[in-house]
Structures are given as C-alpha cells and as structure tokens.
Structure 1
Amino acid sequence: MHRIAVLDDYQSVAADFTDWSRLPEPTDVVEFHDSVDGEDALVARLEPFDVVVAMRERTAFPRSVLERLPNLRLLVTTGMRNKSIDIAAANERGITVCGTGSQPTATAELTWGLILAVTRHIPQEDAAVRAGGWQQTIGGDLAGSRLGVVGLGRLGSQVATVGQAFGMDVVAWSQNLTDERAAEHGVRRVEREELFRTSDVVTLHLLWSRRTRGLIGADDFARMKPTAVFINTSRGPIVQTKALVDALRENRIAGAGLDVYDQEPLPADDPMRTLPRTVLTPHLGYVTRSTYEVFYGEAVEDVAAFLAGAPIRVIDPA
C-alpha cells in the first residue's frame, strides 16, 4: 500500500477536491492541517510516506531534507514552479517531481482587493462601524491616478488591464521589459526610478529568482510619494523587508497591502503583524475554489500516472 501525505491543508478541504479512489493501487492518504518548524520535525512527519503532495512553496524540500526521506519516490507540487524544492537533488535520489496546472486570474483579483482595501481603508472602516463608529478615514482615488506595475508578465498584465478600466494611467518596468511589449498591453514603459517616484500605487508581479531576491529596497521606497501605497502578491523575499518596515513606521509611504512574506506562515511575533496602515492576507493569491479544483484534481492525476509507470507533468531541473 502506498502512503500519501498531503501537506499544508490549512482549511481542511483537500479531501473535498480530490477522489483518491481513482488511483490504480491501494493508498493510505493523510492530510496535514498544520505546518512544522525545522527539518527534524518535517523529516519525522514524512519519513513513512512514499508520495508527498506539497502546496506551493509552503514546505521546503532542500537536499538536506530529501536525503533523509529514503521512502520518498514521488513529490507533487501544486503549480509548475516551486523554488522550495531542490529538483536536482530529488532526481539524484530517484525521486520524481511533478507539478499541476493553475488558475490564471486568482492572484490578479486578490491584488485589486488589496489595492482597494488599502486605498479606501476598508478594514479600518469595517472595524469602526462594528465598534459603533462612523467615517473614520478619507480614501484615495484610483481614477486619474498612476498605477506602477513592476513586472508585466501574465499577472502584471492582468492587473494593468483592470487599472485601465478604473481610469488609471498605467506604467510598467522590469529588467527585460521593452517599449513594444508594454505597448501591446496599452501600457507605457518607464525607468524604475520614475515608476517609484510618480506612481500612486506600486504593485509587484515578478517571479522569485536569484536575480529578483531583494530587488526592491530602501532606495525604491525613498522615491515613493508619501501618499502612495505598495502592494506585493508575488513573493516576500523579492522585497527587502526591513526597508519596507522602516518606510511604513516612519510614515514615508501611505500604506501597504501584503499577501506574501519572507517566512510563511508568518510567525506570531513577526513585526509585520504590528505594522501601521497595512492590510495583511495569508498568501491567499491562489486560494480559490477553481484553483483548488485544478491543484488537487491534477495532483491525483500525477500520482495515478506515476503508479502506472508513465509520469506526467514532470518538472526537470532548470
């Protein structure tokens, strides 16, 4: 019998989106609804399993962990990119790594939820009304303001389109963005300094890589208007956290909407939890019903194909 571990099922819903009975061989499936700290605890939890289904980059699988999981034969990640898995090390140990598809619009939608929540102070006003208050803040306007999109790929271009629908002037920058590519989306490419200096909303949509780690720092926040807000639904490590914390605590920017962090889940004593003028969500960008249907449904397909000797959606080392 194959033992399958389903990780980071925080909402206890994985079983609702899967049908493990489709597998060609008997299995024992265990869903874990929490995370563990440290490699020793992770290894102790996963040592009995030959198949692991990982949710995005919640749980890291470096070489040091993979070498201590002698029973592991298949590692499935939701999505086709996962920087937390050492795929080369897995392959060396005979561990197949497979991925799944994803829902292409969920993160862009959450981005606009954060933009609206921060600029119109929705969480504060909601709390005030529930406490018996009324009209505590003055919101900003989107129409006629400037949206700066850092990274005009699949997600960034969706966010840019919505910004245009709001009547915003949309500009974009990334290291490889060309004028022609920007124009295809009705956006004007500007230099990095101009984007941060002139935008009323700066939203980040870059892939996490060695090149982008720590890319956004103190100089960028120093250029922002004191009335501007910063949004990050990409990855926490792309931003130098201390620089963002300092900018918020020193009132140098108006606010931030954050869905991603250096460490996830966010530790209970993390200073991010006490930052002023912020809206914080627990990496919900991908967390929608349609996304989970794809993630868990295709995870079962991956396991079934592997057990049948014909793995699909195999991820090779970059």
Structure 2
Amino acid sequence: MQLAHRGGAGFRLQRRNNVQKVLISPSSFGQCGTEPLDLLTKAGFETIVNPYGRRLTADEVVGLAHECVGIVAGLEPLDREVLDQLPSLRCISRVGVGMDNVDLQTAAAKGVEVRNTPDGPTQAVAELALGLTLALLRRIPQADRNLRDGIWQKEMGSLLHEKTVGVVGLGRIGRRVAELFLALGCVVVATDPIADHDWLKNHSVSLIPLNDLLGRSDIITLHLAHEPGAGPVIGVEEIHRMKKTAYLINTARGEVLDEEALYNALNEQRIRGAAFDVFRVEPYHGPLIELDNIILTPHLGPYAREGRLRMEVAAVQNLLNVLLSENEVFGRSGDET
C-alpha cells in the first residue's frame, strides 16, 4: 500500500456519537468477498454503496458523499468542483493505481489525504496483456465466432515464442508483463525514462528509445501513466514506425493513444492487429467496434477475483489508516512504493 498524497493539515478524526459515513463508489465493490465491507462495519462506519450499477457522475458523487468523511473511490470525477461540495471529506482511497480522476492539488489544500493500491492490480493486468496477445496471435476470437456461426475453419496463427516484445513503461505492471513474456521465450525490449537498471540487467531486458522499440517489436504493449493535459504517446507518426506485422496492446489508459490514428491504421492494415482494454471515453461505443482485427474488452484489467479482493481490502485499510490514525490496529503502512 502506498501513500499517494498526504494533506498538510495533520487531521485526526475525533470519534463522535453520530456514525461516520463512507461512500463506496465502485459499482462492483464487494462482489469478490465481504471482507472489505466487513472491515468498515467492524470499525464503526456506515457505508453508502453506489446504487446505480455504473460509474458515478460528479453530481451523483456530491449527492451521495456530501456527509461522508471518506470515499473508497473508483474512476468517478473527484475534481475541484466536486471536492468543494464535500466539506466533511478527510480521505479518498482509490481501488487501483491511477490518480488522474482526482484533483490532488485541491485535495492537498483541503487537508484530504489521497491513497491508492499500486500493487493490487499488477498480476491481473499483466496476465490480461499476455492473454490478449495470445488471442491475437492465434486468432482465437475469429475462430470462436466462426464456429458459433456454423463455420468449421481452422485459423492460421503465429507463435509467441521468440517474438520481440516492446514494453512501453516499466512500472510494477510493465515489469511483470516483461517477466511473463520472458518466461515464454520472447526477446523483451523496453523504454522508460526512469527504469530500474538493476532489474534490466537481472532480466536481460534492453532499454532503448521509443522510436527504436516501435520499429523492432513484433508486439508492443503499453504500461505507462497518463499525465493530465498531456497528448497521446502513440499517434500517427509512432504507428507509422511500427512493422506492418506488429500487434499493439493497451491495458494502460485510453488517453495514451490516438484512437483515430489507430482506427485508420487497422482499417488500412498498416499494422496487423490490436487489443484494447481501456478507452478515452468509457463505456466505449466508437468506430473500433466495426473492425475485425482488434480485440476490445471493457476495462477488465484488475477484474480477477483474487486480485480484486486484495485491492478492495487494501483500499479500505488505507482509508482506515487515515480515519482511525489513533488506532494501533490500523497504523500507517509507510510510503513504500
């Protein structure tokens, strides 16, 4: 567990006779086990659960959380306008890694601590990236659709073994992805401005510039964060540098890639295929749905039961570390990354 941000106010919750409230915003929270909700109940908090079965809008967050001291957060907007209307809020605890939906500057000014669960989704997202790659190479979705349509047709695919895999971003997930591909006999190259050089040496992974990686790789898999206001890392020029036989995997953030440029490249068969689990606008209803050479999944990355439960428990413990900071049972976990 990591302290993503600590407000300077040094807030300590004083227990009152009235029950403190916590909003649980992710619509799927608790589906993999009751432990995270049980932790909150045992600690004496009233939980307000997302009633809509989807991502909350800004107005819905305000309506549900206006009296809450904490939010166990998904990807709903927690910008200045929202935070200004939540006077009781003391902690936002993300179920996941990304913080781009939270206005960290406003949170800091209000003394609201913001935490995330950086280790939680690592294995689940890495396995999904590998699974999507195998599905592309062996044309599994096409074979499945054909058989269901009454067509017995063997699809000729490609081996993953000995392919060159380019990993863009060597954070926790990127490193785990590289390890999985290495275990299957791939050559792995990577790009990252702050890579761990000891890890690179120990795993025989070459660190090269992005443009070189794009030209060399048979499979390119994206695992980098998106900075608010930044443009896409992969656009028209970058796609033109890829091999015509290349596959592109994105399980990071929709904003890191120009979807229109990718659509044109796939439609004109300038690259062989792609797989996307994340999109600029979710739920996604865009033109990529029309194409046969891309696999589209609805942000499944962290949705593996074991990993999801660990993330939810960690998010609740992060929240309790803040709200019950006087309680030795839920002491701070430190700032380790």
- Quote the sequence identity (%): 32
Correspondences of 1:124-139 after superposition (within 5 Å):
124-135=142-153, 137-139=155-157
Checking the alignment, whether the CA contact within 8 Å between 2:325 and 2:332 is kept in structure 1 is: no
232 and 130 in structure 1: CA distance in 2 versus 1, 3 angstrom threshold: same
2:212 corresponds to: 194
Pick which of 269-278 and 194-203 moved more: 269-278
Shift of residue 76, structure 1, vs aligned partner:
1.6
Q: Secondary structure at the match of 2:274?
A: strand
Matched, 1:118 2:156: no
Shift of residue 144, structure 1, vs aligned partner:
2.9
Shift of residue 89, structure 1, vs aligned partner:
0.8
Instruction: Give me the TM-score of the superposition, normalised by structure 1.
Output: 0.85
1:287 maps to which of 300, 303, 314: 303
2:44 corresponds to: 25
Q: Cα deviation per residue 1:208-258 (whole Å; 9 max; x = unaligned)?
A: 225974111111111112221100111111112222122112211111011
Checking the alignment, whether the CA contact within 8 Å between 1:6 and 1:53 is kept in structure 2 is: yes
For these two proteins, the number of residue pairs brought into alignment is 312
Q: Secondary structure at the match of 2:170?
A: coil
Pairwise CA RMSD of aligned residues? Answer: 2.9
1:107 corresponds to: 125
Correspondences of 1:39-118 after superposition (within 5 Å):
39-55=58-74, 58-79=75-96, 81-100=98-117, 102-118=120-136
Q: Which stretches in structure 2 are left out of the alignment for 5+ residues?
A: 1-18
> 2:42 corresponds to which letter in structure 1?
L
Q: Secondary structure at the match of 1:91?
A: helix
2:167 maps to which of 136, 142, 149: 149
- Taking the aligned partners of 2:299 and 2:53, their CA distance within structure 1 comes to 15
Q: Cα deviation per residue 1:40-77 (whole Å; 9 max; x = unaligned)?
A: 3442343343322112xx21211111112234333221
Shift of residue 126, structure 1, vs aligned partner:
1.1
Pick which of 270-279 and 307-316 moved more: 307-316
Checking the alignment, whether the CA contact within 8 Å between 2:72 and 2:319 is kept in structure 1 is: no
Pick which of 90-99 and 15-24 moved more: 15-24
137 and 231 in structure 1: CA distance in 2 versus 1, 3 angstrom threshold: same
1:215 maps to which of 233, 254, 257: 233
- Taking the aligned partners of 2:32 and 2:66, their CA distance within structure 1 comes to 21
Shift of residue 154, structure 1, vs aligned partner:
2.6
235 and 312 in structure 1: CA distance in 2 versus 1, 3 angstrom threshold: farther
- Taking the aligned partners of 2:88 and 2:42, their CA distance within structure 1 comes to 19
> 1:102 corresponds to which letter in structure 2?
G
Correspondences of 1:258-297 after superposition (within 5 Å):
258-266=276-284, 269-297=285-313
Q: Cα deviation per residue 1:79-133 (whole Å; 9 max; x = unaligned)?
A: 4552211122123223332334525322111110010111111111112112222
- Taking the aligned partners of 2:325 and 2:201, their CA distance within structure 1 comes to 46
Checking the alignment, whether the CA contact within 8 Å between 1:98 and 1:315 is kept in structure 2 is: no
> 1:46 corresponds to which letter in structure 2?
A
